[in-house]
Amino acid sequence: MEKQQERRREAEPIIFERDTEETWLRLQEDREKRAALSHVAKDKDVPWKQNSQAYRKRYVQSGPKYRYTMGPIGSMTVSKQMLPPMGKGGKHRHYNEALLYVIEGEGFETHDGIKYPFETGDLVCVPTYCIHQHFNASSNWVSVFYCTPADFFDLLGIQSTEQIEMHPNYQVPETAQIIRGTQGQVIGYKEASGLEIRFGLDENKQMLMDSKKATQFQGESKNNYDFYMRTLSDQTKWRQNAIRIIKSKERPWEETRMGRIKYLSHPNISTGLLLFDSFLQEIPPGGASGKHRHVSEEVHYILEGRGYDIHDGKQWDWDTNDVVFIPVNTVHQHFNADPKKPARFISVQSRLYHYCGHGGFEHMEDAPK
């Protein structure tokens, strides 16, 4: 009996974790933040700012400290950029893809040294990890509306921006000292505190990409491991050959249950984008769209007209140049308040939800005939 008691183990102390409860509290805080934010960004209230690329208005910014502080969406950044006559933006590269809709003007892109002309109404597709730069080829200003995935690539551990060339009118902070390269180009600046900010190409990342380009899978896949070797080759070729410019005037209008829509980026359309769907929608004078709901977030840039949205029963008024945010799982419908003129907007939806099993539309009401 005494030997049995000797062998009996003492009960281990219970250690409590509160990670589940902490997650509940964080998610509740996020819901409260989203609920407190406007679903419409009034263009006149958003200031123009300079960064290393160009002059832009930032409607939704990426990064943890900005999450649900500017708009009730978190899957994409949302901005508008201006290029002066015969001007250009900065040259740079990042892992995340970018979608740009040309609001007005004409010019061209350079992607990895190849020129791609664009004009008003075109959709510009910047594939993942592509050196790119935007050029204005006219005597008028060029304006573009653009979106990038917000913090998705940061979570994957590969977010980066390599600033290869600053835009021509770039100015460092007032108290900073410019750092120039051997050719006199701006390569960074030094703040009064001594902190140095350096620009330029990441040579290590370039070596990685060059190595991938040189690796070509030959023959047929013989097993499941070969599938991934072929995937590397196929995706490298796709990045090099992906379609960069979608000509809006060449895409058809469709009469759908949601209304009159012209898709520019869609799973059934070959583009240089993997993470975004995009379409133009036109609402007739005094008319309305259909009503539906989807898990994915969505944003609209109002190209023409005035009207309002109904989101989960609440009205949000919008006008030309405003940005409309549709948060996750929101029942929504669009209305044209002008009895004489049509309203048009460009829509962008995140395709990330589709890839994780939450794509599609829950249709509730057809657009009026």
**Average pLDDT of the residues in 286-308:** 98
d(CA 346, CA 148): 15
H helix or E strand, kind and range, residue 256 = strand 254-256
CA dist., res. 34 & res. 73, Å (int): 7
Band of residue 64 on the pLDDT scale cut at 50, 70, 90: confident
Q: How many CA atoms lie within 13 A of 20 on its CB side?
A: 2
Backbone phi and psi for residue 206, each to the nearest 5 degrees, phi listed first: -65, -40
Alpha carbon distance 101, 115 (integer Å): 17
Give rounded-to-5 percent helix, strand, coil for the chain: 20, 35, 45
Query: What's the mean pLDDT in 136-165?
Result: 91
The tally of CA atoms less than 13 A away on the side-chain side of residue 79 is: 24
- Is pLDDT at 1 greater than 70 in this prediction? no
At 85-115, the pLDDT tens digits run 999 999 999 999 999 999 999 999 999 999 9
Delineate the domains of the chain, giving CATH numbers in brackets. Answer: 162-200 (no CATH), 263-365 (2.60.120.10)
- pLDDT bucket at 160, cuts 50 / 70 / 90: confident
Please give the Cα distance from 254 to 262 (Å, whole number).
Answer: 6
Contact partners, residue 258, CB within 8 Å, separation at least 6: 281, 289, 290, 292, 361, 363, 367
Q: Which pLDDT does position 82 carry in this prediction? A: 94
Q: Confidence band (pLDDT; 50, 70, 90) for 5?
A: low
% of the chain residues with pLDDT over 70 = 98
Rounded CA separation 72/159 (Å): 22
319 touches 302 (CB < 8 A) = yes
Rounded Cα distance, 157 and 168, in Å: 31
pLDDT 10s digits, 29-48 = 999 999 999 999 999 999 99
Closest CA to 276 of 103, 119, 97, 19: 97
**Torsions phi, psi for 69 (to 5 deg):** -115, -20
Mean pLDDT along residues 304-328: 98
Token duo for residue 351? 């395709």
Q: What is the mean pLDDT of residues 305-318?
A: 98
Q: How confident is the model at residue 72 (pLDDT cuts 50, 70, 90)?
A: very high
Q: Which two tokens stand for residue 190?
A: 């030094």
**Per-residue confidence (pLDDT) for residue 323, from 0 to 100:** 98
Instruction: Determine how many CB atoms are found less than 10 A away from the CB of residue 210.
Output: 10
Return all residues near 266 (Cβ < 8 A) that are at least 6 apart.
Answer: 277, 279
Tens of pLDDT, residue by residue over 189-223, are: 999 899 998 888 888 988 988 898 888 898 889 99
Percent of the chain at pLDDT > 90 equals: 73
User: How far is CA 34 from its chain centroid?
Assistant: 19
Has residue 142 got a pLDDT over 90?
Answer: yes
Q: Tell me if 242 sits within 8 A of 127, measured CB to CB.
A: yes
